Amino acid sequence: MNKPSPTAFEKYELEVAESVEAVQQKIKRERENRAYVSFGDYQCVKLRVEIASAVKKSLGIRDAGDIRLVSPPPHVFGDFALDVFNLAKKLKEKPEALAQKIADGIKAREGDLIKDAFAVGAFVNIETHKEILYRDILSQILELKEHYGESDVNAGRVAVIDYSAPNIAKPIGVGHLRSTIIGQALANIYHKTGYSIVKDNHLGDWGTQFGALIYAYQEWGDEKKLAENPITELKDLYVRFHQFAKEHPEAKDQARELFARLEKRDPELIALWKRFRDLSLQDFARVYQRLGIEFDTCIGESYFTKQADQLVDECLDKGFCRKDEISGAVVVDQIEKIPSFLLRKQDGTSLYLTRDLATLQFRIKTFHPHTILYVVGNEQDLNFHQLFAFAKRAWYLSGNTEAKHISFGMVLRDGKKMSTREGTLIELEDLISQSVNKSKEILLHKNPDILPRELDEISEMVGLGAIVYNDLRQSRVKNISFDWKRMLDLESGSAIYLQYSYVRINSILKKLKEVYGGIGLDKLEKDEIAFEYQSEFALAKQLMLFPEIIAGAQATDSPHRIAVYLEELALLFNSFYDEVSLLKTENPKLRASRAALCQSVALVLKEGLGLLGVKVPKKM
C-alpha cells in the first residue's frame, strides 16, 4: 500500500526538523573542535589584574571590586587613571586618602606592567612600562590577526537569538531594520566571546491577519499579479482588506472564521498559507543576502500552534491558569505587578503569547541554551514581562537559562509608527537601493575614472554600511525618526569615515612596499618594536582595549559601544597620521614598528566593523 503524500504542513514540519538537526550538529562540532583565545592572555586583562593585585595588597583587602580605568586628562601625566570612588564608599574611607594609600602601595612594589603611580584627588594616575606593554600588544595582534578580540569568556555556552522576525506576505520594512541589524550584531559579538549561536528568524506566519489575507485573496486575488510580483500583490491585498473592512465590518468576522479553519488545518487553506509563506521566504532571502545575513532556523509561530494548545491544557491541569466561567477564555491571574492576561481566546484560538511560551519551551528542550535573546521593539515590553513571569511560574524557564528582551526604540515616520495596513511602510529594499545609488554618486564625484564593476561593489558596501552603522552607533533604546536625507547623507556618516580610514591605511602600506620593497614586518622581532611620539603610544593603548570593549558590549547587549570605540580609534589614527610620516621614516626598525601599528589599526577597524555587519572595501 502506497504511503500518502505529506500535506503542506507536514512538508513544513520536515523542513524545520532538518534545520534543527543541522544546528544541533553545529553546536556539537563547536564544542568538540573550536579553539579559543584566552581572555586572560590579553594585555588589557593582565594590566587590570596587576592593578587589582596592587590595590588589594596596598589596602590589605581580599576584594578590590570592579577596577575602573579611564584615560587621564591631557594635562595630567599618566597612562591610566583609577577611579576609587566606589571602593572608598565600600570601605567607608575618604576618596583622596584612599587614592594616596593605593598610590603609595603601588610605588613600593615591583610590577611587570606598572612603572609608577601617584594620587590626584580621588584618582590614582598610573604610568606603565609603555615599551613593554605596547610592544606586546602589537606582537599579539600581528600573531592573532582576525582572531584578535576573540575570547573564551563564554566558551561552551549556547545562545539562541530571536531577531528580524518579519511578517509573512509583507515586504521587510524599515521597521524591521532595527531588529535585523541589532540581532545580527549581537550574534557576531556573542560568538566572538565564545558562545555557540543559534540564529532564529521567528517568522510572523500565524494569527488572525492570515484570515484577512485569505479573505482578500479569495475576493480580489489576481494570479497574474501574484506570479509577477508576489509580495507586492499580497501586501496590496492586505491593505485593501482593511480599507474594505472599515465600511464592511462583517468582513472581519468572516476573516476570523477563516483563521479558525486554518488553525484546524483545513487542507485548502493550509496549502494557500504554505504558498504565501514560501513566496515570502524567497523575497526575504534576497534582502538578507544583500545584508550578509544567514539564519540557522526560520521557524514561524505556525509551528507551535498544537504545542500551544497542549501547553494551555497542561497549565490548566496544574492550576497555573484558569478557565473563565462566563467567556470560556483561559486566563492567567495577576503575577506580582503584571496584570492578568489570556492564554486562549474564547473561540479556542491561540494567542501570540501562548505560541511564544511554546516556542520558549521548544528552544530550551531542543538547544539547551544558557541564554535566549529576544530582539524585539520596546512596544512589546509587556508581552515579554508576561512571558518570562509565567514561564518561571510554570517552571518552563529555570535558573539554567536566562531569557532577555533586547528592546529597542521604534523607527517613526512623521512621528508615527509605520504600518502596512495604513500603507505607510517603507520597504527596506527601497531604502538600500537609494542608499547604494547615493553612494555611487559620491564615489563617481571623487573618482570619475573608477571602473563600473568596482563602482558597483564599493557602492554596495558603502551604501549598506551607512544604513547599518547609522543605527548601531546609537543606543538601541531610543526611537529613531526616519529621515531619508539624514539616512542617506553619506558625507557626514561615520561608516564611510571608518571605511575610508581603513582604505587609507592600506594605501599607505601599499606605497611603503613600493618605495622600500616591503614593510619589514617579517624581519621585525618583538623586542625591536619601538615608538617615539605620544600619538603612537595613544594609538597602541586604544588597540589594547579592543578585547575588553567586545566583552563589555556582549555583557551589556550594547553594539554601540563598539561603534564608539572604532570612532575614537580612527580619530587617534588620523592624529598619528598628521604627526608621523611613515614614508619618511628612515630607520628600518622604527619604520617597521610604525607599519605594524598601522596594520594593527586596519585589522581592528575591519574586525570591529565586521562585528557590526559593515564591510570594508579595499579601495575607494
pLDDT over threshold 60, residue 491: no
Query: How do residues 26-76 score in pLDDT, each as one tens digit?
Result: 999 999 999 999 999 999 999 999 999 989 998 888 888 778 788 887 777
Rounded to an integer, what distance in angstroms lies between the CA atom of residue 328 and that of residue 317? 16
| Average of per-residue pLDDT across 318-326 | 93
Q: Tell me the pLDDT band of 251, cut-offs 50, 70 and 90.
A: very high
Exposed/middle/buried for 564, CB within 10 Å: 0-12, 13-18, 19+? middle
- Lowest mean per-residue pLDDT among 287-296, 336-345, 412-421, 521-530: 412-421
Q: Tell me the pLDDT band of 1, cut-offs 50, 70 and 90.
A: very low
Which conformational region is residue 165 in: left (phi greater than 0), alpha (psi within -120 to 50 degrees), or beta?
Answer: left
Ranges assigned E (strand) in 112-224: 114-120, 123-128, 158-162, 196-200
Query: How do residues 86-140 score in pLDDT, each as one tens digit?
Result: 888 888 999 999 999 999 988 888 788 999 999 988 899 999 988 888 889 999 9
pLDDT of 2: 58
Rounded to an integer, what distance in angstroms lies between the CA atom of residue 437 and that of residue 426? 17
Domains, the chain, with CATH or none: 40-128 (3.30.1360.70), 163-417 (3.40.50.620), 431-611 (1.10.730.10)
Largest CA distance in the chain: 90
pLDDT of 430: 83
The answer to whether 175 and 220 have CB atoms below 8 angstroms apart is no
Grid coordinates representing 386?
508576561
pLDDT of 83: 87
pLDDT of 418: 64
Give the torsion through C-alpha atoms of 153, 156, 157, 162, to 10 deg. 110
Ranges assigned E (strand) in 253-408: 322-323, 330-332, 341-344, 371-375, 402-406
Rounded to an integer, what distance in angstroms lies between the CA atom of residue 11 and that of residue 101? 71
The answer to whether 471 and 176 have CB atoms below 8 angstroms apart is no
Question: Helix and strand tally (H, E) in the chain?
Answer: 22, 14
Query: How do residues 213-241 score in pLDDT, each as one tens digit?
Result: 999 999 999 999 998 889 989 999 999 99
Phi, psi of 612 (to 5 degrees): -85, -5
- Mean pLDDT, rounded, of the chain: 90
Higher per-residue pLDDT: 77 or 163: 163
| Average of per-residue pLDDT across 4-32 | 92
3-state secondary structure of 400: coil
How far from 21 is each of 17, 161, 223, 371, 567, CA to CA, in Å?
6, 17, 36, 20, 41
For 546, the enclosing helix (H) or strand (E) is helix 546-556
Closest C-alpha among 61, 60, 95 to residue 81:
95
pLDDT over threshold 50, residue 457: yes
Residues ≥6 apart with Cβ < 8 Å to 399: none
What is the crossing angle of helices 230-247 and 208-220, to 10°?
A: 100
Percent of the chain with pLDDT over 90: 63
pLDDT of 172: 85
Rounded to an integer, what distance in angstroms lies between the CA atom of residue 290 and that of residue 433? 10
| Average of per-residue pLDDT across 296-300 | 95
pLDDT of 7: 85
Q: Tell me the pLDDT band of 196, cut-offs 50, 70 and 90.
A: very high
Grid coordinates representing 489?
547623507
Exposed/middle/buried for 474, CB within 10 Å: 0-12, 13-18, 19+? middle
pLDDT of 435: 87
The answer to whether 127 and 71 have CB atoms below 8 angstroms apart is no
If you search the block for the grid coordinates 556582549, which residue do you land on?
554
Start-to-end CA distance of the chain, whole Å, equals 66
pLDDT over threshold 80, residue 315: yes
pLDDT over threshold 80, residue 78: yes
pLDDT over threshold 50, residue 79: yes
